[in-house]
Structure 1
Amino acid sequence: MSTYAALTRASYKATVRDATTLFFTFAFPLVFLVIFGLIFRGREVADTGHGYVDFIAPGVLSWGLASAALFGVAFTLMQWRADDLLRIIRLSPASILSVVGSRYVVALGIGVAQSLLFVGVAMLPVFGMRPDPTWPLALPVMLLAVTSFLALGLIVGSRANTPEAVAGIANFIVVPMAFLSGSFYPLELMPDWLQAISRALPLRYVNDGMAYALSGQGDMNDYLLACGALVGYSVVFAVIGVRTFRWSNDS
């Protein structure tokens, strides 16, 4: 078995063994879907042919994907470094790319499962989500969302030394970003200066891409801009993450 395969297998086992974390990874987005779905149940947005849930669900899904990717890799790296596993891995032929890549595969698997479960629940009659025919375009956005926020989690996990630090930093990043990017609150209702700030946040582009793919909001140019921006964020975060990566708390 190759080093990369062994690390991927170890990452997968560590993920599925932590049943509580795994459960809430899937449950949190669904809780918000249920709350918003029941509040706006049966209501339609004028002149769109869509219900409110069609406009709410993409943003909540985007937040769920971003949170899972960021928290997952940040906690894993922090724990592996605290347990000196990274120090041991460093003595093997494994590289940083092998360590991060193994976690990336697991994160993608979780992202796909999250998306399928979330959309499946949203389409139940009680919520009534009706995805647009453009829904396959959500797959590239999901991939780019996981990539960019995993790279951001690489930075967080490389700097934080305790679970409390990871949770604090990650929540400080994701929670305000969710509100400022329109995951829970329509950007159109925000002041112009807040809308301008949202354009500097990666989650804004995950929301835009998902909104176009699942409910037809915006146009293809908005979708392509969102994908391009996420590619750029992924590269920038990955470069910073690799440069700040630490094999041990002492380094």
Structure 2
Amino acid sequence: MSAYTALVTAGYRAQVRDAATLFFTFAFPLVFLVVFGLIFSGQEVEETGRPYISYIAPGVLAWGVANAAVFGIAFTLMQWRRDDLLRLIRMTPTRLPTVLTARYVLALGVGLAQALVFTCVSLLPGFGMELHVRWPMAVPVLVLGITAFLGIGVIIGTYTDTPEAVAAVANFLMVPMAFLSGSFLPLDMMPPWLQTLSHALPLRYLNNAVAASLVGRGGWGEIVAGCGVLVAFTLVLGAVALRTFRWSSRS
């Protein structure tokens, strides 16, 4: 068995065994969907006649997938480094790209499964989200989003040494970003200076591209622009993550 296969298999078994974390990974974004679905049940946007849930669900989905990518890799790397597993891996022929690629494959699997479950629930009569003809484009958009936010997770996992620190730093970044990027509230409701600030946040572009793909809120321009910006964020964050990565807390 190759090092890559062993790491993927071990990571998969660890995730499956941790039933509580697995449950909340999928349930957390659904809680927001249920809350917003109850608040806006039966209401439509006057300008388009479409249900409010079609405007809310894509943002919550994008945030949920990004959040899982950040937390998943950050907690794993922190734990492995604290337990000296990374140091032991480094003593083998296994290189850093192999370790990160194995975690990346697992993150993609979890994120796409999240998106499938979330979308299926959103389409139920009680919520009534309407898919656009471009909905298949949401898959490559989400893949790029997971890739970009995985870089953030690697950086957090490198600089934190306890689960509490991971949770604090990740929430400090992801919760404000959700509001400032339009995941929970329309950007039009925010002051102009906050709308300008949101252009520096990767989640804004993931939200826009997912919304344009999934429910048709926007055109091909939003999808192409969102994908381009996410690729740029991936390159920058990936370079920082690789340069700052620590195999051990003592190095």
- TM-score (normalizing by structure 1): 0.98
Q: Counterpart amino acid of 1:52? A: Y
Query: Is 1:230 aligned to 2:197, yes or no?
Result: no
Of 41-50 and 90-99, deviating more is: 41-50
User: Which residue is 1:160 aligned to?
Assistant: 160
- One-letter identity of the residue aligned with 2:128: G
Residue 97 of structure 1, CA deviation: 0.5
User: SS of 1:209's equivalent?
Assistant: helix
Report the AA paired with residue 92 of structure 2.
S
Q: Deviations over 1:142-186 (max 9, x none)?
A: 101110011110000011011011000000000000000000000
Aligned to 1:123: 123
Report how far residue 217 of structure 1 moved. 1.2
Which runs of structure 2 are paired with 1:1-251 in the superposition (5 Å)? Answer: 1-251=1-251
How far is the alpha carbon of 1:49 from its aligned partner?
3.6
Aligned partners of 1:35 and 1:93: how far apart in 2? 49
Gaps of 5+ in 1: none
Q: Distance in 2 between matches of 1:215 and 1:202?
A: 20
Task: Output the CA distance in 2 between the equivalents of 1:49 and 1:206.
Answer: 24
Aligned mates of 1:73, 1:111 — CA distance in 2: 12
User: Within 1, Cα distance between the matches of 2:40 and 2:76?
Assistant: 37
Amino acid at match of 2:93: P
- The two structures, once aligned, show a CA RMSD in angstroms of 0.7
Number of aligned positions between the proteins: 251
Rounded Cα–Cα distance in structure 2 between residues aligned with 1:7 and 1:219? 40
Deviation track 1:221-244 (CA, whole Å, cap 9, x = no partner) reads 121111100000011111100111
Q: Distance in 1 between matches of 2:215 and 2:120?
A: 15
- Within 2, Cα distance between the matches of 1:95 and 1:11? 17
- Output the CA distance in 2 between the equivalents of 1:217 and 1:129: 12
State the 1:45 CA deviation. Answer: 1.0
Matched position secondary structure for 2:200 = coil
**1:214 offset after TM fit, Å?**
1.2
Q: Which amino acid aligns with 2:136?
A: P
Q: Which deviates more, 218-227 or 175-184?
A: 218-227
- TM-score normalised according to structure 2 size: 0.98
Task: Work out the CA distance in 2 between the residues paired with 1:183 and 1:192.
Answer: 17
Aligned equivalents of 1:61 and 1:225: distance in 2?
A: 19
Give the C-alpha shift of residue 47 in structure 1: 3.2
